[in-house]
Amino acid sequence: MNGKIVVLPGDGIGPEVTAQAVRVLQAVAAKYGHSFAFIERLIGGSAIDREGTPLSADTLSVCQEADAVLLGAVGGPQWDDPEAQIRPEQGLLGLRKGLGVFANLRPVTVHPALVSFSPLKEEKLSGVDILVVRELTGGLYFGLPRGREVRNGQMRAVDTLEYQEDEIRRVVDLAFRLAQSRRKRVASVDKANVLESSRLWRQVANMVGKGYPDVSLEHILVDTAAMKLTSNPAGFDVLVTENMFGDILTDEASVLAGSMGMLPSASLGEKGPGLYEPIHGSAPDIAGKGMANPVGAILSAALLLRYSLHLEGPARRVESAVNRAIDDGNRTADIAGTLSTQQMGDAIIKRL
């Protein structure tokens, strides 16, 4: 198998964790006879500083021509001016739109050895295996028009939450297809008691659900979903929702695993390369200290092997190596350990 992978290390701890994910992919290629070509480009704040834009046209073009894109994180305090016209996050949004990746998959599981690091009681974490499917290219983050003005001496800002039927249909359909190979339950999260966009979401979800008689569909309001994620997280199988709700709920769900550094994500479209990244941010407070947890990035590389390169066996072996490294007591600081970012990478690669 030959594959072209674009690496966008980004900002903060992004370069540190993506470096370990690349090492793991290189180890997989060497062990199983594959050939992966890695192309590194800039995104986010580092791209603003060196190229004057958070995502250059050349970088986007290279990503579009690749088999997969591996991303670190974007942002940091030096670019965190709310008045700035150019911001690191614009690069991330532009990349998602440019690649057409409309569905963000975020698996949430709890490693038995790390149960004590979750704020929830152990009995609530038994059996937790959630797949969150977040719509990624619509909603508030992409709605138009949006703007800011001064009216009658008062500042005023407008963001529009907008969805079309086909945008909802394709992500909900994917959630049902994924549920068929799991526990055959879909929870569709909305705010249909208040928002017109959520009422459309619920209507479309019902229509899609009729095509999957073997999968049960539950509608749940977002505030109730947030409560159930901490009171009964094992009750969820596949959870599908719109962009902003998904962003917030998956960050909440990360506490189940004990650290945001543990969780990966895959962003997929109907065709073209997938986008893979850990769910955590750039963590500027620990950047450059060699203490960031690379597990989320490494598990994102496993998803890359599975969904973009169609290498299910190596993907499972990477996930197994991560689990065995943790079983054997290997920990970074966020999960009460002393290993450096590279040492954690070493422990996982050793177990491949």
Summarised one tens digit per residue, pLDDT across range 126-169 is 899 999 999 999 999 888 766 778 888 899 888 899 999 999 99
**pLDDT score, position 319:** 97
Q: How far apart are CA 41 and CA 19, in angstroms?
A: 13
**pLDDT score, position 141:** 87
Query: Is-contact 251 271, C-beta < 8 A?
Result: no
Which residue among 247, 276, 307, 334 is the active-site one? 247
**pLDDT score, position 151:** 84
**pLDDT score, position 145:** 67
| Mean pLDDT estimate for the chain | 95
Which residue among 32, 184, 228, 251 is the active-site one? 251
Mean pLDDT across the stretch 27-49? 97
Please write down the long-range contacts of 172-175, taking CB distance under 8 Å and 24 or more positions apart: 172/204, 172/205, 172/208, 172/209, 172/240, 173/208, 173/211, 174/103, 174/133, 174/268, 175/133, 175/238, 175/240
**pLDDT score, position 66:** 98
Mean pLDDT across the stretch 182-194? 98
Mean pLDDT across the stretch 48-56? 97
Does the annotation count 247 as an active-site position? yes
Q: Is the pLDDT of residue 347 over 80?
A: yes
Residue 40 sits at φ, ψ, to 5 deg, of: -100, 135
Which residue among 11, 67, 141, 334 is the active-site one? 141
Q: Is the pLDDT of residue 17 over 80?
A: yes
Which residue among 191, 212, 276, 334 is the active-site one? 191
In this prediction the pTM is: 0.92
Mean pLDDT across the stretch 6-13? 98
Q: Is the pLDDT of residue 119 over 70?
A: yes
Q: How far apart are CA 40 and CA 69, in angstroms?
A: 10
**Judging by DSSP bridges, how do beta strands 154-158 and 147-151 pair with one another?**
antiparallel
Q: What is the DSSP letter of 328?
A: T
Band of residue 86 on the pLDDT scale cut at 50, 70, 90: very high
pLDDT in tens, 291-342: 999 999 999 999 999 999 999 999 999 999 999 999 999 999 999 899 999 9
Q: Is the pLDDT of residue 55 over 90?
A: yes
Band of residue 83 on the pLDDT scale cut at 50, 70, 90: confident
**pLDDT score, position 254:** 86
Q: How far apart are CA 334 and CA 339, in angstroms?
A: 10
Q: How far apart are CA 66 and CA 68, in angstroms?
A: 5
Does the annotation count 223 as an active-site position? yes
**pLDDT score, position 118:** 85
> 85: exposed, middle or buried (C-beta count within 10 Å: 0-12, 13-18, 19+)?
exposed
- What the chain holds in terms of domains, given with CATH numbers, is 1-107+270-352 (3.40.718.10), 119-257 (3.40.718.10)
